[in-house]
Structure 1
Amino acid sequence: MHIKTLRNLGATLDMTSGRVKNNKIAEELRIRGNKAFTLNEDPSTVAEFYTGSIAFALPASQQLSFGYANRSAVLFNAQNYKDCLLDIERSFVAGYPDNLKAKLYARKVRCLIALKKSKTEIQRALEETKRALIDMDSKAPGRVLVEKTLKDKDHLAPELIQGFPKKPKAFKPVIKDETCDISGATGVTIKYSKKYGRHIVATRDIEPGEIIATTEIYAKGRSQHKRYRECAQCAKRTMAGLPCDHCPNVVYCSFTCRDKAWAEYHETECPILGILYDLEIPTSTLLGIRVTLRALHEAGGVFGLRMMLKKLDSNS
């Protein structure tokens, strides 16, 4: 039934969503992550629970600090020591309790040793661990490991050697053709005809398998089940996603991607994204919304976008 008809009948639309920051949901997801961690499930699966917890946790809350702390353990076991260190620091910033900090400082020491950091940096972390141990309960779980780290610091390196093979660098072809009127392309140009509309045609013979164009992703449409595994901005897979400060619906691989997304489109989509998910709006439609929002941002508004489109049409 049409929305206008529903309104005439006195019906109302509930424009609220359950997909908002919520420490209770954050705790539930973190507990599920703890169970999966105890059962030695796949690290990516465990990290996804913790990332969900981090996404739902209120900013600067103790629940957020717990999420980062727990995820740092998964990252450590996966030998992702750099991201582990970042999560440890994020946990401290969010207000991780003093009586539990020794465990994280000990983990930090092990990360620094594995990454072959300077003796000065490692010694500083050891001193932090010693000071934090004073606040730790004598019977607290994990105290034995902390004391072992302090005692055996000179013998930890062999067991912390990064055993996972390094991923090969992604091949990124570079195309520089100043004679081509399409940026990032070669051997092609844009034409217009009544039959095909605006289309691309070759300007020279193109060899089989030849790369004729490269382009950056303009906007990424991401299915819901991947929202805590991939960066919402660049689509990079990540086990250490950073949350939006205002909604639990997206994570990012870096502050750079988070800030860029907020400036280009997420500030506008953020209040309604949870509702769109609740309504099960198709991924393709969500992508269309994001493309439109980014285009509006780049054009400086609706009027600017209209002018850009008119200019494109006049050049056809």
Structure 2
Amino acid sequence: MEGKCNLTLLSDVTDGCGFFFHSDFGLLSKHISKQLAVDDVDRALKYGYPLQQKYKILIRKGECLRNQGCMQDATIALKLALDSLSESTLTTAEIKVKSEKIANLLRSCSSESVREEKATASSCGFDPHPSIANASRQISLQYSTEKGRYLVAETVIQAGDVIISEKPFAVVLLPDHYDTHCHYCCDRALAPVMCSHCIHVQYCSEVCKDAAWEDYHEVECPMWEVLQEIDSLGHLGVRIILSAGIHKETMISSFSKSLPTTSNGIPGCRADGIYQADYGAVYSLQTHIDNQTQENLFQASMTGLLLSICVHIRLGKDNSVHWDALCNDTEVCALAGLISRHILQLRCNVHAITAVHPQGHADDPGRKVETTEQVRVASAVYPTVSLMNHGCDPNVIASFNGSDVTIRATRNIKNGEEICHSYGPHKNHMPVAERLRKLKEQYFFDCTCSACHMTEKEPSDWSMFKCSNCDQPATLLDSDLVCTNQQCLHKESAKEKLKLKEKADNLFKEGVRCCDKEDVEKSLQLLQQSLHIHEMVLFKHHRTIAEVRDCLARCYALQVHLALFCLLYKPESSTRKQIKKAKRVITKALPLLSRYYGNQHESVQELLEMQACLLSL
């Protein structure tokens, strides 16, 4: 945490400390986050903000909450502000002015509250399943000896429909993001709140800090340095135990025997047949113990034993530190067995929480267009999401809001069709042989999905040329291109197409250089030429075509940025055409992004803000 100054590290706060939290309020409310500004107000009040000026920050809190659409909370804050006026040093005339301002704000909250309720009701497009926690009523849970547990569509599911919305049973932030993200919800910690007992972890709010302490950090806090010596799977394994409260059981050795037996024959379901996504569901996840290497089994066993001893000592169940005594303790061994079980399960059932982060120096003021990449932020276990089997051509997509995951359909799914998501290997990103190898190595199964079955002996579409006869993929064999379409099998010389591809590649490289120099017009010209030639010789799903289009999109974004600048400072210029073009692009992009990621996704919100900006010009 070098270079950070965080006032929440202070345990003994004087009355004047409230000023420090309030001093950040203006910056947060104007430039970063209104919710963080509200949190700072709450901390200022908690740590003794002067009563005479209390009305000021309560008014600001009410304004922020109103702007967020939280009318009920805004009304409460504003009424408290009205009551606080009597404690101020204002004159009678000044109190009257402030009272009128608060009254106007209260009236606006009242008129907006009805609209807020309607919007909340209409935004809920998720009809919960009566017997599958966190899942839509549109799906059902099935089981077979070949497939294990899997989900199928109970009715026709439309593209964009939410199938699963789930909070993690347990989650562990990855070390690279300790200083930037919340250790509880995995959201960005823009105004970090430190643990009151250590300097190792931070949170985005007091709420997350208190929840983490209650769930697991009270036990983890003094053993944090030990946790940093093991991998994230070991850490997540013990956090599952702590989050479930298993360490509080008086007889851990008999705990697993007390788990209910399901009535429907599907592992993880309760006695009444309901899949609750509780600890019983996590416990039922496959360990694949027969397929694990001896090294993995030994490492999981030793890690489980080490962590169980640490937890045992931390809870004060045994003050003895004698290794032999602890290793032979029945309860320690039982806890070690559970942790080891979860570590083995996580090798096949862990989910990566991802976020879109800017590449390079995001704070560079000279950057007009930001290039982003998907980054793994945390590891988590989701019992309901784990019910889905793998498909190399999945029909769903996952998006994250902090650590909360939402699974949406990417295309229309027929009644009775299996719901599949990608465990990593995807038909558009990896050849068949490599997909089969990776799935076998990590998940211990031979993939028989349609994408692997139909193209088992064929090269991948994204690395192939285009057949001149039927436009289908053609593979390079020696000096010839041979069509993979069994109805065509056209054969032609590769010489001319290889020469054209080299020319197109050079145009692409030059176009990228011009784009980096912000020579937009020349870059667009070169990239469009490159795209035209690439589309002539390469199959439509070829990776290079996607890369050229991505760079074109970057250029168009840069062009819009420059057009906005010209419109603001040179309104007589001809840039209004570019603004109209940008409006059309946003209008087309919004429904697509909303369908797959939801209206609250960061990318959708950014587009809405850009659209509002353009409409105001």
The TM-score normalised by the length of structure 1 is: 0.51
Aligned to 1:121: 81
Summarize deviations over 1:104-126 as a string: whole Å, max 9, x none: 75962772684587598368459
The answer as to whether partners of 2:195 and 2:209 remain within 8 angstroms in 1 is: yes
Residue 315 to residue 234, structure 1, CA distance change in 2 (3 Å): same
Residue 259 to residue 309, structure 1, CA distance change in 2 (3 Å): same
Give the 3-state SS of the residue equivalent to 2:172 in structure 1: coil
Q: RCO greater where, 1 or 2, for CA within 8 Å and sep 6 or more? A: 1
Aligned to 2:197: 246
Q: State how far apart, in whole Å, the 2-side matches of 1:77 and 1:235 are.
A: 24
The answer as to whether partners of 1:68 and 1:88 remain within 8 angstroms in 2 is: yes
What amino acid sits opposite 1:244 in the alignment?
A: C
The answer as to whether partners of 1:60 and 1:93 remain within 8 angstroms in 2 is: no
The answer as to whether partners of 2:54 and 2:84 remain within 8 angstroms in 1 is: no
Aligned to 1:265: 216
Match among 153, 168, 175 for residue 127 of structure 2: 175
Number of residue pairs the alignment of both structures matches: 231
Residue 76 to residue 286, structure 1, CA distance change in 2 (3 Å): same
Q: State how far apart, in whole Å, the 2-side matches of 1:183 and 1:262 are.
A: 25
The answer as to whether partners of 2:59 and 2:81 remain within 8 angstroms in 1 is: no
Q: State how far apart, in whole Å, the 2-side matches of 1:120 and 1:310 are.
A: 50
1:72 aligns with 2:29: no
What amino acid sits opposite 2:223 in the alignment?
A: I
Aligned to 1:13: none
Give the 3-state SS of the residue equivalent to 1:221 in structure 2: strand
For structure 1, the 5+ residue unaligned runs are 1-18, 20-24, 31-52, 132-148, 158-167
Match among 271, 278, 291 for residue 240 of structure 2: 291
What amino acid sits opposite 2:214 in the alignment?
A: A
Q: State how far apart, in whole Å, the 1-side matches of 2:124 and 2:221 are.
A: 32
Residue 127 to residue 77, structure 1, CA distance change in 2 (3 Å): farther
The answer as to whether partners of 2:142 and 2:151 remain within 8 angstroms in 1 is: yes
The answer as to whether partners of 1:59 and 1:245 remain within 8 angstroms in 2 is: yes
Percent of residue pairs identical: 18
Summarize deviations over 1:71-103 as a string: whole Å, max 9, x none: 33432433755653542452354357x7xx98x
Give the 3-state SS of the residue equivalent to 1:234 in structure 2: coil
Aligned to 2:521: none
What amino acid sits opposite 1:182 in the alignment?
A: I
Taking only aligned residues, the RMSD between alpha carbons, in angstroms, comes to 5.0
Q: Which 10-residue stretch deviates more, 226-235 or 119-128?
A: 119-128
Q: State how far apart, in whole Å, the 2-side matches of 1:183 and 1:87 are.
A: 35
Q: State how far apart, in whole Å, the 2-side matches of 1:81 and 1:129 are.
A: 28
Offset at residue 270 of structure 1 (A): 1.9
Give the 3-state SS of the residue equivalent to 2:150 in structure 1: strand
The TM-score normalised by the length of structure 2 is: 0.29
Residue 219 to residue 125, structure 1, CA distance change in 2 (3 Å): farther
The answer as to whether partners of 1:230 and 1:253 remain within 8 angstroms in 2 is: no
The answer as to whether partners of 1:227 and 1:251 remain within 8 angstroms in 2 is: no
For structure 2, the 5+ residue unaligned runs are 67-74, 103-118, 268-617
Aligned to 1:139: none
Q: Which is richer in strand? A: 2
Residue 299 to residue 268, structure 1, CA distance change in 2 (3 Å): closer
The answer as to whether partners of 1:173 and 1:214 remain within 8 angstroms in 2 is: no
The answer as to whether partners of 1:65 and 1:95 remain within 8 angstroms in 2 is: yes
Match among 234, 237, 246 for residue 185 of structure 2: 234
Larger Rg: 2
Aligned to 1:215: 166
Summarize deviations over 1:14-61 as a string: whole Å, max 9, x none: xxxxx8xxxxx7xx522xxxxxxxxxxxxxxxxxxxxxx145x13233
1:307 aligns with 2:267: no
Q: State how far apart, in whole Å, the 2-side matches of 1:112 and 1:212 are.
A: 36
Offset at residue 189 of structure 1 (A): 1.6
Residue 112 to residue 211, structure 1, CA distance change in 2 (3 Å): closer
Match among 29, 36, 39 for residue 4 of structure 2: 29
Aligned to 1:44: none
The answer as to whether partners of 2:18 and 2:48 remain within 8 angstroms in 1 is: yes
The answer as to whether partners of 1:75 and 1:83 remain within 8 angstroms in 2 is: yes
Counterpart mapping for 1:80-119 below 5 A: 80=33, 83-84=36-37, 86-91=39-44, 93-94=46-47, 108=57, 111=60, 114=63
Aligned to 1:48: none
Q: State how far apart, in whole Å, the 2-side matches of 1:105 and 1:233 are.
A: 31
1:276 aligns with 2:227: yes
Residue 259 to residue 284, structure 1, CA distance change in 2 (3 Å): same
Q: State how far apart, in whole Å, the 2-side matches of 1:171 and 1:217 are.
A: 23
Offset at residue 289 of structure 1 (A): 2.8
The answer as to whether partners of 1:241 and 1:254 remain within 8 angstroms in 2 is: no
1:60 aligns with 2:12: yes
Q: Which 10-residue stretch deviates more, 243-252 or 59-68?
A: 59-68
Residue 305 to residue 250, structure 1, CA distance change in 2 (3 Å): farther
The answer as to whether partners of 1:106 and 1:129 remain within 8 angstroms in 2 is: no
Offset at residue 254 of structure 1 (A): 4.6
Q: State how far apart, in whole Å, the 2-side matches of 1:174 and 1:73 are.
A: 37
Q: State how far apart, in whole Å, the 1-side matches of 2:257 and 2:168 are.
A: 24
Q: State how far apart, in whole Å, the 2-side matches of 1:275 and 1:66 are.
A: 38
